[in-house]
Each structure stands twice: as structure tokens, then as C-alpha cells.
Amino acid sequence: MTGTTPQGTASEQAASQWVRGMFGRIAPRYDLLNHLLSFNLDKQWRARSVARVSAILDRPDAQVLDLCCGTGDVLLALENRARRPLLASDFCHPMLLEARRKIVGHGFRTPVFEADALSLPLANSSLDLITVAFGFRNLANYQHGLEEMLRVLKPGGMAAILEFSQPSNRVFRALYGFFSTRVLPRIGGAISGSPEAYSYLPESIRKFPGAEQLAQEMRRAGFSRVEFERMTGGAVALHLGYK
Ligand SMILES: C[S@@+](CC[C@H](N)C(=O)[O-])C[C@H]1O[C@@H](n2cnc3c(N)ncnc32)[C@H](O)[C@@H]1O
């Protein structure tokens, strides 16, 4: 398990720059495509994730970070549950601008900061919960990503990683494979104007560790009580682990 390797990149730094540039180009169309290409299931995946971390959100003093927040959909779902501003970060400025617009529109005053998930400007043991939805897969080094989460979590703190995964059923996997490699790149490419983004998406999902392997890697990194829940036939998985 190393990290994402977009085509044509030969180092972690190049992979990271490619990912940041790509999200910057699709930022204005990101939400529309997200809902369209997931048949609106993304809303259910996020809602389920919020439900799984609600015990921490309900604690008024809990320090919570939505990592790789993108345009802020998970963040807003978390804040609607917590009824207060949390923290949010991403390393892509145009995505953060979209997030900021939505946060203000919802009447929150969330501290949003631009930072690489592999090197967060946060103190050791400062957070009770980190959520990361569809961002972890894009990190240039997964091991470093897990280590950085552990560094900033308080002992007893939780990480919740929502990511694409591989469906377990053979027939569904074949259908899903067809959709994600043939249909999704065409629609996504045409609407976003960035075909490379929607070719990268199925490729990065294919290369990403399966749910069992990710759970193993979390344990190896030092997380305890690691568990995961598959959703939509395993197309998506939510991993939970504690420091
Ligand atoms: C697919 S989007 C997901 C956004 C949002 N969490 C959601 O659920 O819609 C992935 C986000 O991860 C961010 N990202 C990827 N690698 C990152 C890194 N190393 N540090 C910080 N953000 C990163 C991207 O900029 C992008 O906004």
C-alpha cells in the first residue's frame, strides 16, 4: 500500500500536484457530477457516515476535523448534526472556495484551512474525530496519511474513512466496472471539461486497497477497534478506527 499514482506521475510530489490540479479544474462542476454519477447515493453514504460518528458530534466540546473536505458536503452534514461550526481542510484552493460559499450560505462560520493531509498544521493529540470522505484514496502516501491522522487525534479519538471500494458480488462488480470505466468517464469528462479527471476516478478506485486490506493497514498503522461497513453492495466502504 503506497498511494495514488495518476498516469504519468513518477513521484509522490508529482502525484500530489496532479491530484490538486485536477480537483482545481473540476471544482465548479464537482457537486453536480457527484450527485449525477452516483445517482444521488452519495447523500445516503454521507448521511450514514454522520450517523456512525454522531456520538462524538453530540459532545459539545468535541474537536472535529473534516479532512479533504472538498466542496463541504460532509462538513455541512456533520455541522447540521452537531449544530455548531467544526474544522475543515483541503489542499485545493478552488474546492475550498466552493466550500466557503456553501458554508456561508448555511449560516456557519467554519474555520476552513488549506493544508496537505500528509502534513497538517495541527498540534499532536488535538482532535476527537477526523472524517475523510472520498479523499483518502487520493493521498500520495496512504501510510503517511494514517500516521498523520493518528498524530493529531487524541487518545481515544476516532478516524472515519469513507471511500470507494470493490463490490463483493461478481455480477454487480462487472456491471459497476462497465459503468465506471465506460459510462462515467464520458459523462464526467463531457460535463466537467476535464476527461482526465473521470478516467482517473475508476483507475484510482481499481488500484485502491479492498476493504479488508484497508482495515489491516489501519491496524498496522496503530489504529485499534478497526471495523468497516460496506454500502451499496460494497461499492463504498466506511472504515472506523480509534487511536
Ligand atoms: C473526491 S473529493 C471529496 C470531497 C468531499 N470530502 C466529498 O465527500 O465530496 C477529494 C478531495 O480530497 C482533496 N485532497 C486530495 N488529496 C489531498 C491531500 N493530500 N491533502 C488535502 N486534501 C486532499 C482534494 O483536493 C479533493 O477536494
What pLDDT sits at residue 59?
A: 97
Cβ(120) – ligand 1 distance below 6 Å:
no
Question: In the chain, what are the helix, strand and coil shares in percent, each to the nearest 5?
Answer: 55, 20, 30
Ranges under pLDDT 70 in the chain: 1
Q: Is the CB of 139 under 6 A from ligand 1?
A: yes
| Residue 110 pLDDT | 94
| Separation of alpha carbons 28 and 50, rounded Å | 25
| Nearest Cα residue to 228 out of 242, 241, 209, 219 | 241
- Cβ(194) – ligand 1 distance below 6 Å: no
Whether residue 161 has its Cβ less than 6 Å from ligand 1: no
The confidence score (pLDDT) of residue 1 equals 64
**CA–CA dist 109, 134 (Å, integer):** 24
* Best mutation site among 138, 139, 162 for ligand 1 pocket (most ligand atoms within 8 Å of CB): 138
**β strands within the chain, DSSP E:** 64-67, 87-90, 112-114, 127-133, 153-164, 224-231, 236-242
Q: Which of 92, 85, 82 is nearest to 113 (CA)?
A: 92
**pLDDT score at 37:** 77
Q: Which atom of ligand 1 is nearest to the CA of 23?
A: 25
DSSP one-letter code for 156 = E
Cell output for 9: 506521475
Strands lying side by side in the sheet with 112-114 = 112-114, 87-90, 64-67, 127-133, 153-164, 236-242, 224-231
Distance 23 CA to ligand 1 centre (A): 8
